[in-house]
């Protein structure tokens, strides 16, 4: 069972800040992995903001998720500068390697594949982000090699 009291501690941390909801949700998501309904309900109670409004915020921003995700989040950019440098082929290869479509999580819960909008790394396009790390000048083969590394690390930790 999740320790919802942690939500209270996080909210307290931001007591001095004006309108800190987005910061609270970020920290809460870091703590619990995703923003489930019981968690959001708790946030609503602590902050005295209507649950509907909090749900609205949690589903508006792409860095928030209301569903559980894999251990590693792979974010591929497919905006125009990456697109004209072959991001489509990179993405197709990643999908094939992971066996999932964008928005899905692998069965072993190791990877979630997502689109991201431009990461501002267009001079080294095409690019992707794995968690907080960025990778540029990708080719389909290079992208798969990077993910293989994560997979190896993932299984050795387990």
Partner 1 sequence: MHRIHILIAMDSHTLAQGARAVKDALLKDLSLAGLSDEVKVVETGSLGIYKKGVVLVVFPDNIYYTGVTVENVAEIVSEHIVKGRIVEKLKYSKAPGTEVKVQEKAPRFGKQLRVVLRNAGIIDPESIEEYIAHNGYEALGVALTEKKPNDILEQVKASDLQGRGGAFFPTGVKWGFAAREKAEQKYIICNADEGEPGTFKDRLILEGDPHAIIEGMALAGYAVGASKGFIYIRGEYHMSIARINRSIEQARENGLLGEKIFDTDFSFDIEVREGAGAYICGEETALIESIEGKRGEPRDKPPFPPSEGLWGKPTIVNNVETLANIPQIILNGPEWLQKLGTEASPGTKVFTLVGNINNPGLIEVPMGITLREIIYDIGEGIPQGNGFLLAQLGGTTGGILTAEQLDLPLDTDNLRKIGAGLGSGALLVVDDTHNVVEVVKNFVEFFNHESCGKCTLCREGTGRLYELLDKLVSGQGVLKDVDLIERLAKTMMTGAFCGLGQAAPVPILGCLKYFRQEFEKMVNTEQKSVSAVV
CB 58 within 8 A of CB 35: yes
- Alpha-carbon gap, residue 100 to 111, rounded angstroms: 9
Quick one: which H or E segment has residue 72?
strand 72-77
Residue 123 CB neighbour total at 10 angstroms: 9
Using CB under 8 A as the binding rule, whether residue 33 contacts partner 1 is answered as no
| Segment 77 to 116, residues that bind partner 1, using CB under 8 A | 78-81, 83-85, 115-116
Sole window of 4-12, 58-66, 89-97, 141-149 interacting with partner 1 (rule: CB under 8 A):
58-66
- Alpha-carbon gap, residue 25 to 43, rounded angstroms: 8
Sole window of 13-21, 30-38, 66-74, 140-148 interacting with partner 1 (rule: CB under 8 A):
13-21
Sole window of 30-38, 50-58, 92-100, 144-152 interacting with partner 1 (rule: CB under 8 A):
50-58
Q: Which of 46, 51, 119, 146 binds partner 1 (CB under 8 A)?
A: 119
User: Interface residues with partner 1 (CB under 8 A)?
Assistant: 18-23, 25-26, 49, 53, 56-57, 60-64, 78-81, 83-85, 115-125, 127, 129, 132, 134-137
């Amino acid at each position: 069972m999740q320790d919802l009291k942690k939500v209270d501690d996080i909210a307290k941390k931001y007591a001095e800040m004006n309108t800190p909801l987005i910061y609270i949700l970020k920290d809460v998501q870091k703590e619990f992995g995703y923003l489930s309904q019981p968690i959001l309900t708790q946030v609503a109670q602590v902050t005295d903001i209507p649950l509907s409004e909090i749900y609205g915020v949690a589903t508006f921003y792409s860095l928030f998720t209301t569903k559980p995700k894999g251990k590693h989040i792979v974010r591929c950019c497919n905006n125009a500068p990456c697109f004209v440098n072959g991001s489509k082929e990179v993405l197709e290869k990643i999908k094939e390697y992971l066996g999932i479509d964008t928005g899905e999580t692998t069965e072993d819960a190791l990877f979630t594949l997502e689109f991201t909008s431009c990461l501002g790394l267009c001079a080294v396009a095409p690019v992707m982000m794995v968690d907080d790390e960025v990778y540029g000048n990708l080719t389909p083969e290079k992208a798969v090699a990077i993910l293989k590394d994560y997979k190896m690390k993932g299984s050795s930790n387990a």
